[in-house]
Chains A and B, each alone.
Chain A
Amino acid sequence: QVQLVESGGGVVQPGRSLRLSCAASGFTFNSYAMYWVRQAPGKGLEWVAVISYDGSNEFYADSVKGRFTISRDNSKNTVYLQMNSLSAEATAMYYCARDQGWLQVRWYIDLWGRGTLVTVAS
């Protein structure tokens, strides 16, 4: 079935790094752009990053630029989010999500994972 399954969340100390993974199944992964979107506890949605279907282009929110890196391995149907120099403000549920467009970015998110929780605390 069509799904996205995130993993890699947990409790991490401030200043440390964490890598999230998102395994896709049930669709042609290498034809879709992918997103990471986060949601702090009790707060709204915040776009984090997007990567094109072939990995040739990446875009980041200003709040994470220079510290977070999105990447993908189309041979493994997996997208990643490397998060460095973490601070408490990064505490959130991190959702992996798929763009609606086939071989193009349409800027609409039509498939979401269940999320993985990241807590930054000492």
Chain B
Amino acid sequence: QSALSQPRSVSGSPGQSVTISCTGPSSDGGGYNYVSWYQQHPGKAPKLIIFNVSERPSGVPDRFSGSKSANTASLTISGLQTEDEADYYCCSYAGSNGVVFGGGTKLTVL
């Protein structure tokens, strides 16, 4: 059981926006600020799309944005495109427990 809780699936139509939530521990041990998000297409390695809660690596479209409020981080994808259909994982440093991933969210672009 993951310490980071994500919805199992979300969906949206091309051009729409979707938000994927990632809920961490209720008592913040100080590590839940190191939040990142990864995109994984079937049969492929994951790809970093958001780090440090809201920063984008170079080359990642600005349609992808991240935020955090209290113990819930969020990934928002605006202007959905068919190629955005993938699995998305949140991740955080968890102190003495090292690194923890969320269970993953499957995004379907209808």
Find out whether the CB atom of A60 lies under 8 angstroms from the CB atom of B101. Answer: no
User: Is the contact region of chain A dominated by helix, strand, or loop, or is it mixed?
Assistant: strand
Residues of chain B within 8 A of A47, CB atoms compared = 91, 98-101
Residues of chain B within 8 A of A46, CB atoms compared = 101
- B99 touches which of A50, A100, A112, A115 (Cβ 8 Å): A50
B31 shortest CB reach to chain A, Å? 8
Find out whether the CB atom of A108 lies under 8 angstroms from the CB atom of B101. Answer: no
Give the number of chain A interface residues (Cβ < 8 Å).
22
A38 shortest CB reach to chain B, Å? 11
Once the chains are docked, how many angstroms separate the CA of A95 from the CA of B48?
A: 14
Find out whether the CB atom of A50 lies under 8 angstroms from the CB atom of B52. Answer: no
Find out whether the CB atom of B46 lies under 8 angstroms from the CB atom of A45. Answer: yes
Answer whether A112 and B102 are a contact pair too, CB < 8 Å, given A45-B89, A62-B97, A107-B93: no
Residue of A nearest to B100 (CB): A47
Find out whether the CB atom of A44 lies under 8 angstroms from the CB atom of B102. Answer: yes
For A56-78 the 0/1 string (1 means CB < 8 A from B) is: 00011110000000000000000
Find out whether the CB atom of A109 lies under 8 angstroms from the CB atom of B45. Answer: no
Tell me the chain A residues, 81-102 only, with Cβ under 8 Å from chain B. Answer: 95, 100
- A50 touches which of B34, B45, B98, B104 (Cβ 8 Å): B98
Those 6 A-B pairs whose CB atoms lie nearest each other, nearest first: A107-B93, A47-B99, A112-B45, A108-B51, A44-B104, A45-B101
Q: List 12 A-B contacts (CB under 8 A).
A: A37-B46, A45-B38, A45-B91, A45-B104, A47-B98, A47-B99, A50-B98, A95-B46, A100-B51, A109-B38, A109-B46, A112-B47
Binding site for B on A (CB under 8 A): 35, 37, 44-47, 50, 59-62, 95, 100, 106-110, 112-115
